[in-house]
A and B are shown apart, each in its own frame.
Chain A
């Protein structure tokens, strides 16, 4: 074989490496970040026309970052993420790089600053492949609400990638990058992770800074990673978590060494199985896939215990009052005055009304309207305040449950990835995709999705692991033990 053909063969596989593998090879200087980045960019060019995982591909910047990373790697002692290509959900402010939130209202917005998470990743030497697609302003469960087209599922192009971080999940699943950043407000990391067959973590609320993350619902939004393995996801999480003076809601608690939690040891770990999460109407394949994974963890020495989360049935209702109310306040800033779209208008009121009418998509308008109503005079007590009280009840359910168990295991969603267009006519049907993820955001707990099976059509199924506040280590340990047990090997996308 000619040497250049061998080189091409090797280069084209680099994008399929895990962070752990790539990082080891980068540090030994067996490969360069430039080659690794090139492999990802080639893959992006090959699959993007079918996948649409990215809104903006930052090829030139990525190669520049790779070059800087290579110089650092040459000097030795570079951080774990140095030279590693990542996708960034287009909701993180990235200085000098267009950030749209998948909305026409921010189509031309270029942030003058980096989100804290982005600054930390830059400091670690990571490479940014591009800005990943999402549901507009993170409002959605399928990435069909993007102003830039839907993202398709790499395991079945007629299926959704899940949402709202569908682009991030799909990019990892399709090997366009080695890991990605998403955000999760009601399930927006865990759901696409499950649908796309990758690992996704939503940390404890306040674990990671939200500074520079364009806000949807401020008491629910959380930053988190997608990756192909639990170890990789833990590596990204550790790089971005921790105190930030720029975010008053970000906890001052130091970040543990998450890698040390990956001991493989789950003997004696009590796994709570919530009876309300295994309901009629669930996919039989999801039910058996998740129960199979719980049984697998038991084979490794964990114990399962049935628990009850009695207010589960009220979580979606409470969420769609609280999240929409907070969103109506957070999205009030999009008014055509200082940035983004500006409609033609003769006076300021017309400016706001028309800019927002033209700039926001239907789902965003729907949620702003509902949220505004829930906060309006005469209705605040019956709706918003009531929902906040139910939030207390939901939080208490988990507190009581964690007296009986160390972590909770459950499905991520009632089904595998549905078909594009299947739920777009019925908002409530779409909202119910979040039924198993939403209460975790209301309670502020850490949750992770790990692949645990496939359905008869080959679509991925996710196992959700939920921890007590700041219990990331427990869920990482269990997820990693499951993944490395070999009882299920997630299929790679055949795209």
Chain B
């Protein structure tokens, strides 16, 4: 069997990081697809970027700060309106394991 660029164990590790429950079929398909993508992006290594700085952001920054004052009425009800489960001003969730 051909050695894929990325192992099934790596796929499972990434899925844990990404909080995605994958079926075995999805794991296998993603292993192939991720390997193909990683083979494709390998071409970036043809470029010497030793003296090149990274670009994290383009465009011009705008207004970034303001006075720390409350300028709008409470929107708690509106913000909780989409809650799958609610208890007063709380989002209800399944238990969080210690």
Whether the Cβ atoms of B19 and A356 lie closer than 8 Å is yes
B45 contacts the other chain (Cβ, under 8 Å)? yes
B24 contacts the other chain (Cβ, under 8 Å)? no
On B, residues with C-beta under 8 Å from A are: 6, 10-11, 13-15, 17-22, 26, 30, 33-34, 36-37, 40-41, 43-47, 49, 52-64, 66, 75, 78-79, 81-85, 91, 93-97
Closest chain B residue, CB of each to CB of A242:
B62
Q: Which residues of A contact B56 (CB under 8 A)?
A: 219, 388
A350 and B94 contact, Cβ closer than 8 Å, known pairs A342-B85, A365-B20, A393-B52: yes
CA of A340 to CA of B91, assembled, Å: 13
Q: Which residues of A contact B95 (CB under 8 A)?
A: 346-348
A252 and B21 contact, Cβ closer than 8 Å, known pairs A318-B44, A386-B44, A393-B52: no
Q: Interface code A324-360, partner B: CB below 8 Å = 1, 0 otherwise? A: 0000100010011111111001111111111011001
Closest chain A residue, CB of each to CB of B58:
A444
Whether the Cβ atoms of A249 and B55 lie closer than 8 Å is no
For the A-B complex with A252-B63, A348-B97, A386-B49 known, give 4 more contacts whose Cβ atoms are closer than 8 Å: A251-B59, A251-B62, A341-B84, A366-B34
Partner of B21, one of A108, A340, A354: A354
Q: Which residues of B contact A318 (CB under 8 A)?
A: 44
Whether the Cβ atoms of B84 and A336 lie closer than 8 Å is yes
Whether the Cβ atoms of B21 and A353 lie closer than 8 Å is yes
Partner of B62, one of A247, A316, A387, A388: A247
Contact stretch, chosen from A79-87, A136-144, A368-376: A368-376
A205 and B62 contact, Cβ closer than 8 Å, known pairs A337-B91, A356-B21, A369-B15: no
CA of A249 to CA of B47, assembled, Å: 30
Whether the Cβ atoms of A252 and B62 lie closer than 8 Å is yes
A488 contacts the other chain (Cβ, under 8 Å)? no
Partner of A357, one of B6, B21, B57, B79: B21
A253 and B66 contact, Cβ closer than 8 Å, known pairs A354-B21, A385-B54, A393-B52: no
Whether the Cβ atoms of B47 and A311 lie closer than 8 Å is yes
- Shortest A325–chain B CB gap in Å is 11
**Residue of B21, B45, B64 ringed by the most chain A CB atoms within 10 A:** B21
Question: How many residues from A make CB contacts under 8 Å with B?
Answer: 76
CA of A390 to CA of B47, assembled, Å: 8
Whether the Cβ atoms of A389 and B21 lie closer than 8 Å is no
Closest 4 CB pairs of A and B: A206-B59, A444-B58, A388-B54, A112-B78
Q: Which residues of A contact B58 (CB under 8 A)?
A: 205-206, 219, 395, 442-444
CA of A102 to CA of B21, assembled, Å: 21
A110 contacts the other chain (Cβ, under 8 Å)? yes
Closest chain A residue, CB of each to CB of B56:
A388
Partner of B82, one of A251, A338, A389, A427: A338
Q: Which residues of A contact B82 (CB under 8 A)?
A: 108-110, 112, 338-340
Q: Which residues of A contact B34 (CB under 8 A)?
A: 366, 369-370, 373
- Shortest B62–chain A CB gap in Å is 4
CA of A317 to CA of B43, assembled, Å: 8
